[in-house]
Each structure stands twice: as structure tokens, then as C-alpha cells.
């Protein structure tokens, strides 16, 4: 049942229980004290009445009118409180109406046997009767209980109000969390209440700001991914149109010419063989273009030979295209077991680094190295070219590579080399739990 109650209800229930327990404890102490008080009063009154009767007995023996003196003795003794005096042969006087509950009277006083004193006029019985004292104590307890209950009720109301005011930020923070759960990252919880709630509100606001920033970054990332995909599609469409299209047209024209020569009344075998050779050369060139496009989409050498051999083949292709630039390779870290996603990312980083170095740096020497340090794979492309311009921010290719590396928990940076030129460094983790992507020290940033 308590689990279904709110914190405010639990605190109110606890406070009410403490107040009720305190009132019950106080009333119990009063009742315990009342018992000793009533018994002391009853014993004192009984002794006083006995002493009075005993002190009057010598006078009764020498009195000229013992009957009158005995009546006066009874009258004087009956004026005493908390006792009931009865002469032998007399009917006991009626009990006064008890103004306290019977259960209370029985709780605080247990009747004792009456005292009997022999006199010339008979036996006098003296019995304790503290009804008045019990009634007075009961009234005191009732009024004290009423006053204490009133004070406790006022205290409960004040404390409940204070608790309600203190816990008011809980409702505000809960509402903010609910809005945050629905995706409203602009929500902010007011920093109100005790220092603990102020700290919680500050942490919640920081979380909301972080989620909003991450959401904005995800949106920008999606837009960049769409832009990169459109760029890649345009490049592939341009290659298909500008390179494969002319080859296909030439092959089709060659096949048409070959068909016409074959249908001639006197076919010329040499001419037909020459047409076949041209068609074969065009098909071979078409295959090279096709392999180059497929290599851009996914390098076949990577899955067939591994990362090291794929990077060697990539460098060999650049050497054939740009024989004026020296390419140094250090690929010891690229050998061994590397998961496919990490290997492909490392290959793309090297490909983008070499492409940028050849296109923009004007370098005469480019160095590509892949090293390992535990679970950290480092890909570095360094050139001795003109370096980066101060306002350079990198193109879509580098931004796409950076986002891809960060998605794998790595880090990528491009900077000017103190020795001249520029260098691109990407650090990738080989194990999903090896490095915290947010820890610059672990990433060597």
C-alpha cells in the first residue's frame, strides 16, 4: 500500500503517526501519574480520618452526652474529602455521580479494604473514596489532551504546508521529465526549492541541453549523409554517362560495322578481325572503368587480400597515374585480423587523404602509414606540400569521413605538419569497448 502513495502522502502519514504516538505517550504518562496521585490522596485522607476518630474517642468516654458528641464526630469526619465514613447500623450514604468514566476510575484506583475503628457508640468504618480527585484528574487530562491535539493539529498543518512547498519542485521536475520523454528538448526545469532540488534541476537542464544539441547534430548528420549520397550518385551518373556511355556506343557501332562486313557478298576476314580487335579493346577499357567505379563503391581487394594489400593496390594505382609523386608506405599495422567495418573505414580514410594530397597539396612526396597500439589503429597520411590554408575547413568528403570515424568511436583530425605540408590522422578502435570515444586522452587528441 505504501508503494502506491506519493512522497508527500508518505511524509504526511509519517508525521501524523508521530504526532498521534506522541499524544498517546503523553496521555499514558498522565494516566500513570494519576494512579499514584489518586492512591496517595486516598491513603492520606484515610489516615487523617482514622486519626481524627482516634483523637476524639477519649472525649466520648467522659462526655455527658456521648450521642451528640458521636454525631458531631461523624459530621466532622465526613467533611474530609476522599473518604466515606459509616457508623455501625447506619445505611451507607449514596455514591456521588462519578464524573469520570468507569474504565478510567478502575484504571487509576483500586479500592482497598475499609478501616474499622471501635467506639463506645459502635464500630466506625473508614473507606477510601477518591471520586472527586479522579474527576479532577480526568478533567485535567481531557483539557490537556484537547489543547495538545489543537497544538498538534496546528503543527501538522504547518509542517504539511512546509512539506508541500518543499516538494513542489518534484512536480515541476516530473513534468519537465515527461516533456523531455516526449522529445521536447527545449524544456527547462525552474531552479527552485532546496539546494538538492536546485542541483537536480540544473542537471536536468544540462541533460535537456545535451539532448537538444545531439538532436541538432543528428539532424545535421542526416542532411550531410543525404548530401554525400547525392554527390556520390551524381559522380556515378557522370562516370556512367561520360565514360561507360561512349564505350558502349563505340562497341555497338563496332558490332554494327562487323555485322555489315559479315553480310557483304565477299566478306573481308582481315577487316572483320580488325573490328573484333577494336571491339575487344573497347570492352577491356569498359571493364577497367567498371572496376574503378566498383572500387569506389567497395574495393574488391579489401575483402580478397586484406587491408594492407588493398592499400598497396591503392597506392600502386596512384603511382601509375601520378608517377611524378613518390608514395612511401608503412603498413605493418594493417596486417592481421581487423573487422570489416574498421578495415573499410581505414581504407576510405587513406583513400580520401591520398586524393586530397594529390589534388590540392602540390606535394612531391606522400607518406601513408598504418600502426597499431593495443586496440588502437592509427591511419596517417602526410605530404610535403603547401599545407592547409588558415580558413580551410575541409570539404564534404572530409566531413563525411570525420562523422564516419566518430560513429565508430574514433577521432579524425587534419592539421599542418610542423615539418611542412599537412597530415591527416585517424584513430580507430579495434574493439568496441577498448576506447571511450569521448575521451580525448585515450584517442591521443
* Residue 171 within a domain: no
Give the pLDDT confidence score for residue 368 in this predicted structure.
92
pLDDT at 224 over 60: yes
Answer with the one of 266, 297, 328 that is the final residue of a domain.
297
pLDDT digits (tens, 9 = 90+) for 320-344: 888 888 999 999 888 888 888 888 8
* Residue 50 within a domain: yes
* Residue 275 within a domain: yes
27 with 152, same domain? yes
Residue with cell 504518562: 29
Long-range interactions of 27-35: CB distance < 8 A, separation 24+: 27/141, 27/145, 30/140, 30/141, 30/144, 31/104, 31/107, 31/108, 31/141, 34/108, 34/134, 34/137, 34/141, 35/107, 35/108, 35/109
In 68-210, beta strands by DSSP E: 83-87, 115-119, 122-128
Q: How far apart are the first and last CA of the chain?
A: 55
pTM metric for this prediction: 0.46
CA distance linking residue 75 with residue 65, whole number of Å: 16
Cell of 75: 459530621
CA distance linking residue 120 with residue 101, whole number of Å: 40
Among 58-62, 185-189, 399-403, name the most confident range: 185-189
pLDDT at 128 over 60: yes
Nearest CA to 126 out of 42, 61, 56 is that of 42
8 with 144, same domain? yes
Give the pLDDT confidence score for residue 432 in this predicted structure.
46
311 with 223, same domain? no
44 with 111, same domain? yes
Give the pLDDT confidence score for residue 196 in this predicted structure.
82
144 with 247, same domain? no
* Residue 178 within a domain: no
Least confident of 20-24, 131-135, 347-351: 131-135
**Which residues, listed in sequence order, are joined to residue 160 by a DSSP beta bridge?**
none
pLDDT digits (tens, 9 = 90+) for 345-354: 888 888 888 8
Answer with the one of 239, 269, 297 that is the final residue of a domain.
297
104 with 200, same domain? no
Contacts of 200 by beta carbon, 8 Å cutoff, 6+ apart: 169, 173, 189
pLDDT at 444 over 50: no
How many structural domains are present in the chain? 3
* Residue 172 within a domain: no
Answer with the one of 166, 196, 231 that is the final residue of a domain.
166
Q: At what angle do helices 7-62 and 131-166 cross, to 10 degrees?
A: 170
Cell of 306: 586484406
158 with 197, same domain? no
Q: Which residue has the higher pLDDT, 392 or 218?
A: 218
Distances (CA, A) of 322 to 215, 325, 359, 369: 43, 6, 11, 19
26 with 156, same domain? yes
Domain span holding position 230: 184-297
pLDDT band at 65 (very low <50, low <70, confident <90, very high): low
Long-range interactions of 52-55: CB distance < 8 A, separation 24+: 52/76, 52/77, 52/80, 53/77, 53/85, 53/117, 53/119, 53/124, 53/126, 54/117
* 340 three-class SS: helix
Long-range interactions of 196-202: CB distance < 8 A, separation 24+: 197/169, 197/170, 197/173, 200/169, 200/173, 201/169, 201/172, 201/173, 201/176
pLDDT digits (tens, 9 = 90+) for 386-439: 777 766 655 556 777 787 788 788 888 888 888 888 889 999 988 644 334 334
Cell of 383: 605530404
94 with 108, same domain? yes
115 touches 54 (CB < 8 A): no
| Average pLDDT for 248-261 | 84
* Residue 262 within a domain: yes
The count of other CB atoms within 10 Å of the CB of residue 126 is 23
134 with 205, same domain? no
CA distance linking residue 275 with residue 294, whole number of Å: 28
Q: What share of the chain is helix, strand, coil (3-state, %, to 5)?
A: 65, 10, 25
Q: Which CATH number do you get for residue 414?
A: 3.30.565.10
User: What is the residue-averaged pLDDT of the chain?
Assistant: 79
211 with 154, same domain? no
* Residue 361 within a domain: yes
Q: Which residue has the higher pLDDT, 295 or 171?
A: 171
**Which residues, listed in sequence order, are joined to residue 124 by a DSSP beta bridge?**
87, 117
**Which residues, listed in sequence order, are joined to residue 87 by a DSSP beta bridge?**
124
331 with 281, same domain? no
* Residue 173 within a domain: no
Amino acid at each position: 500500500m505504501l508503494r502506491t502513495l506519493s512522497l508527500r502522502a508518505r511524509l504526511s502519514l509519517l508525521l501524523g503517526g508521530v504526532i498521534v504516538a506522541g499524544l498517546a505517550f503523553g496521555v499514558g504518562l498522565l494516566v500513570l501519574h494519576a494512579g499514584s496521585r489518586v492512591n496517595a490522596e486516598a491513603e492520606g485522607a484515610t489516615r487523617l480520618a482514622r486519626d481524627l476518630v482516634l483523637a476524639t474517642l477519649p472525649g466520648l468516654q467522659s462526655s455527658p452526652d456521648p450521642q451528640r458528641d458521636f454525631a458531631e464526630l461523624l459530621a466532622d469526619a465526613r467533611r474530609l474529602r476522599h473518604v466515606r465514613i459509616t457508623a455501625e447500623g447506619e445505611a451507607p450514604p449514596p455514591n456521588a455521580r462519578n464524573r469520570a468514566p468507569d474504565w478510567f476510575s478502575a484504571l487509576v484506583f483500586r479500592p482497598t479494604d475499609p478501616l474499622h475503628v471501635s467506639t463506645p457508640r459502635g464500630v466506625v468504618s473508614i473507606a477510601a473514596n477518591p471520586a472527586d480527585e479522579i474527576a479532577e484528574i480526568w478533567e485535567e487530562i481531557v483539557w490537556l489532551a484537547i489543547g495538545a491535539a489543537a497544538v498538534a493539529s496546528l503543527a501538522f498543518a504547518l509542517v504539511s504546508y512546509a512539506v508541500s512547498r518543499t516538494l513542489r519542485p518534484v512536480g515541476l521536475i516530473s513534468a519537465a521529465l515527461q516533456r523531455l520523454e516526449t522529445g521536447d528538448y527545449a524544456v527547462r526545469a525552474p531552479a527552485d526549492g532546496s539546494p538538492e532540488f536546485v542541483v537536480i534541476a540544473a542537471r536536468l537542464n544540462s541533460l535537456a541541453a545535451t539532448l537538444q544539441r545531439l538532436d541538432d547534430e543528428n539532424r545535421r548528420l542526416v542532411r550531410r549523409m543525404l548530401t554525400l549520397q547525392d554527390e556520390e550518385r551524381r559522380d556515378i551518373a557522370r562516370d556512367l554517362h561520360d565514360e561507360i556511355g561512349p564505350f558502349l556506343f563505340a562497341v555497338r557501332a563496332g558490332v554494327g560495322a562487323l555485322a555489315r562486313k559479315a553480310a557483304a557478298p565477299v566478306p573481308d576476314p582481315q577487316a572483320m578481325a580488325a573490328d573484333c580487335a577494336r571491339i575487344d579493346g573497347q570492352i577491356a577499357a569498359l571493364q577497367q572503368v567498371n572496376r574503378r567505379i566498383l572500387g569506389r563503391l567497395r574495393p574488391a581487394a579489401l575483402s580478397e587480400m586484406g587491408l594492407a594489400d588493398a592499400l598497396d593496390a591503392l597506392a600502386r594505382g596512384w603511382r601509375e597515374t601520378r608517377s611524378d609523386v613518390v608514395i612511401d608506405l608503412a603498413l605493418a599495422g594493417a596486417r592481421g585480423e581487423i573487422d570489416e567495418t574498421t578495415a573499410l573505414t581505414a581504407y576510405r580514410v587513406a583513400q580520401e587523404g591520398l586524393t586530397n594530397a594529390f589534388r590540392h597539396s602540390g606535394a612531391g612526396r606522400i607518406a601513408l602509414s598504418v600502426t597499431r597500439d593495443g586496440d588502437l589503429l592509427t591511419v596517417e597520411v602526410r605530404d610535403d606540400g603547401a599545407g592547409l590554408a588558415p580558413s580551410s575547413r575541409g570539404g564534404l568528403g572530409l566531413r563525411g569521413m570525420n562523422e564516419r570515424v566518430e560513429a565508430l568511436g574514433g577521432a579524425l583530425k587534419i592539421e599542418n605538419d610542423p615539418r611542412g605540408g599537412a597530415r591527416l590522422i585517424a584513430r580507430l578502435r579495434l574493439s568496441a569497448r577498448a576506447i571511450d570515444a569521448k575521451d580525448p586522452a585515450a584517442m591521443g587528441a
